[in-house]
Amino acid sequence: MKLRNIAIIAHVDHGKTTLVDKLLAQSGAFRENQRVAERVMDSNDLEKERGITILAKATSVVWKDTRINIVDTPGHADFGGEVERILNMVDGAIVLVDAAEGPMPQTKFVVSKALKIGLKPIVAINKIDRPDARHQEVINEVFDLFAALDATDEQLDFPILYGSGRDGWMAASPEGPKDQGLAPLFDLVLDHVPPAKVEEGPFRMLGTILEANPFLGRIVTGRITSGTVKPNQSIKVLDRDGKVIETGRVSKILAFRGIERQPIEEGEAGDIVSIAGLEKGSVADTFCAPEVTEALPAQPIDPPTVTMSFLVNDSPLAGTEGDKVTSRMIRDRLFKEAEGNVTLKIEESADKDSFYVSGRGELQLAILIETMRREGFELAVSRPRVVFKKDEATGQLLEPIEEVVIDVDEEHSGVVVQKMSERRADMVEMRPSGGNRQRLVFYAPTRGLIGYQGELMTDTRGTAIMNRLFHAYEPYKGEIAGRTNGVLISNDQGEAVAYALWNLEDRGPMIIDPGCKVYQGMIVGIHSRDNDLEVNVLKGKKLTNIRTTSKDEAVRLTPPIRMTLEKALAWIQDDELVEVTPKSIRIRKAILDPNERKRAEKQKEALSA
């Protein structure tokens, strides 16, 4: 059967996964009466809830006697570790761009990688039915972007389609015709994308996507470069330098047929398949026949930029809500995650009770924590810290810098520029982006961006869109002022009383409800001043037999500030932890005892002096 391999590239929320749904439906991958979930490619619960693609996935459709393998790539920079290698599996790319927003930084990141390896893009302008669509300007922006990324003349001569992925149509003009569905896109893929490249020689395949399966063990997905592979065949695994990592047998070969993965008897060159049966082979390794000695060229994996400590939960309420609480269980779970996620790096501390987990961004780590708490884990996590480096030549301290693009209404642009400059960001560009909106581009240290998302939403009344992308390691930019408010700390263990919370409202907003279980050292509110304050939230009302109108006032509480996991991770300071359990998210001081806390502060002051 003829083969075509394509990737769909787009920014977050530009409609990749919805378009794949329609491609599957119109190619006959589903039966007429089959019940199919919306966004069928977003398979895990967190992807469905947040509406983002976290893991790259492949599917395949048959159109006019040609099998088209489609790879859906993540749009978030935090999960971009997958993207670079996926592009090596395909021969063409559909660049999906929103008709109103135009090309965004994540599109730029993936497109630059695609153009570098010589893929010929097809540009699809999606959401053409939006009231604020400006397709002509967006096409000019796409052309400028390709030109800025050193595209060849052949790549700049890209075909353009307009349409709506949600409504399931694409056409050569913005007006339609709409009755042909996605047939114009399928036909363009067959005409414009070259057939799958096949090389001569024995079996070779570059590992691209890694996953851990409870029944089959490690499953590695990639494109077969040359030769064929059958179940029970002996193969070996080479790393990027050509050293042999392991030898073994293929236990199963799976290929994508529609949304299902089915076992096949033989994988042929050019096809995208998954291989099971090897224990050590990973992403960027070459899986090959025993006689092969040279590894296939592979992209190195980008370094992690953010690290967090995962600790065993040692609070007085430990073990009351989750059933997986020991360091051994946490260790096993983290190392299992690292097996299937190549961008994570895990190190054990000397005392074996805590683990340093490094990743591409705090969103990636927050999703790992959220997954673990849903599985019944209890743990404490520290504030995200950036991974610094030393310049070997000069001995200078280097830190990760990100390119930040913020689309904001003109009236709010002043406050955004001010807040970003406080975070040591340098402004590179400021231009109108249509509809009274400004596009601001900054180079900002990753340190300063931790926790800025929530503040940006407050400052701009929820109208700003921020996109971040790793830029480079540059010299350390200096101190950045952190949180300005202190916290209210509970001085005893028990259940919070509404009357006590009501009396404490003058001190600052609360983050707990009445009846919430608290313990000594747990943070219950935000102090209105810059120092920490210990408070009693257990103090009930003294009952007397005297009745007056003022005594019997009803307690009217201001609703507390709700701390989500991401908000809590961004808000805490270095001496605080977030306690995560399947039922609650609590914030606490790392040292619970107030006397020990004061002693530790004095020691820290003495050392800094």
Q: Give the C-alpha separation, 78 to 363, whole Å.
A: 7
Q: In the structure, what pLDDT confidence band is assigned to residue 78 with cuts at 50, 70 and 90?
A: very low
DSSP letter at 257?
A: E
126 annotated as a binding-site residue:
yes
User: What integer is the mean pLDDT of 65-71?
Assistant: 83
Note the CATH number of domain 2-192: 3.40.50.300
pLDDT at 551: 56
User: What integer is the mean pLDDT of 291-301?
Assistant: 77
For the record, the structure tokens of 562 come out as: 């709700």
15 annotated as a binding-site residue:
yes
Q: How many Cβ atoms sit within 10 Å of the Cβ of residue 119?
A: 23
pLDDT, tens digit (0-9, with 9 covering 90-100), for 304-326:
778 889 999 888 988 888 888 88
User: What integer is the mean pLDDT of 205-214?
Assistant: 78
What topology is assigned to 204-288 in CATH? Elongation Factor Tu (Ef-tu); domain 3 (2.40.30)
pLDDT at 393: 82
Q: Which of 130-139, 202-211, 297-306, 389-398 bottoms out in mean pLDDT, i.e. has the lowest?
A: 297-306
Q: Select from 3.40.50.300, 3.30.70.240, 3.40.50.10860, 3.20.20.220 the CATH code of 389-475.
A: 3.30.70.240
Beta bridge mates, 535: 490
User: What integer is the mean pLDDT of 111-135?
Assistant: 84
pLDDT, tens digit (0-9, with 9 covering 90-100), for 431-482:
887 667 788 899 999 888 887 877 888 888 877 877 777 788 888 888 887 7
2 annotated as a binding-site residue:
no
> Would the CA dihedral through 599, 601, 604, 609 be positive or negative?
negative
Contacts of 535 (CB under 8 A, 6+ apart): 488, 489, 490, 491, 504, 507, 524, 525
User: What integer is the mean pLDDT of 93-116?
Assistant: 79
> Kindly report the CA angle at 351 between 347 and 354, in degrees rounded to 5?
50
pLDDT at 550: 60
341 annotated as a binding-site residue:
no
pTM surpassing 0.85? no
412 annotated as a binding-site residue:
no
Compute CA distances 108 → 139, 140, 208, whole Å.
Answer: 14, 14, 21
Statement: residue 38 has pLDDT above 70: no
pLDDT, tens digit (0-9, with 9 covering 90-100), for 252-284:
888 877 667 788 888 888 888 888 888 877 777
Determine phi and psi for 46, rounding to 5 degrees: -65, -35
Beta bridge mates, 97: 125
Determine phi and psi for 14, rounding to 5 degrees: -90, -5
21 annotated as a binding-site residue:
no
pLDDT at 460: 86
Q: Give the C-alpha separation, 215 to 218, whole Å.
A: 9
59 annotated as a binding-site residue:
no
> How many residues are there in the chain?
609
129 annotated as a binding-site residue:
yes
pLDDT at 49: 52
With CA atoms as reference, report the closest residue to 358 among 385, 396, 331: 385
Q: In the structure, what pLDDT confidence band is assigned to residue 517 with cuts at 50, 70 and 90?
A: very high
pLDDT, tens digit (0-9, with 9 covering 90-100), for 541-563:
777 776 665 655 667 888 898 88
Cis before 177 (ω within 30)? yes
pLDDT at 53: 45
| Mean pLDDT over the full length of the chain | 82
Statement: residue 16 has pLDDT above 90: no
User: What integer is the mean pLDDT of 173-194?
Assistant: 85
Statement: residue 116 has pLDDT above 60: yes
Q: What ranges do the domains of the chain cover?
A: 2-192, 204-288, 389-475
pLDDT at 7: 85
343 annotated as a binding-site residue:
no
Statement: residue 522 has pLDDT above 90: yes
Contacts of 8 (CB under 8 A, 6+ apart): 16, 19, 20, 70, 71, 72, 73, 93, 94, 96
pLDDT at 45: 54
More confident residue, 544 or 408: 408
Statement: residue 489 has pLDDT above 90: yes
For the record, the structure tokens of 43 come out as: 């398979």
For the record, the structure tokens of 271 come out as: 């096809």
**CB-side exposure of 88: number of CA atoms within 13 Å?**
21
User: What integer is the mean pLDDT of 114-135?
Assistant: 85
More confident residue, 383 or 113: 383
17 annotated as a binding-site residue:
yes
Q: Which of 34-38, 365-369, 488-492 bottoms out in mean pLDDT, i.e. has the lowest?
A: 34-38
pLDDT at 259: 65
Statement: residue 375 has pLDDT above 50: yes
DSSP-assigned letters across all residues of 109-148: HHHHHHHHTTPEEEEEEE-TT-TT--HHHHHHHHHHHHHH
Q: In the structure, what pLDDT confidence band is assigned to residue 524 with cuts at 50, 70 and 90?
A: very high
Statement: residue 523 has pLDDT above 90: yes
From the number of C-beta atoms within 10 Å of its C-beta (0-12, 13-18, 19+), residue 350 rates as exposed
Statement: residue 241 has pLDDT above 60: yes
Compute CA distances 114 → 150, 309, 446, whole Å.
Answer: 11, 35, 26
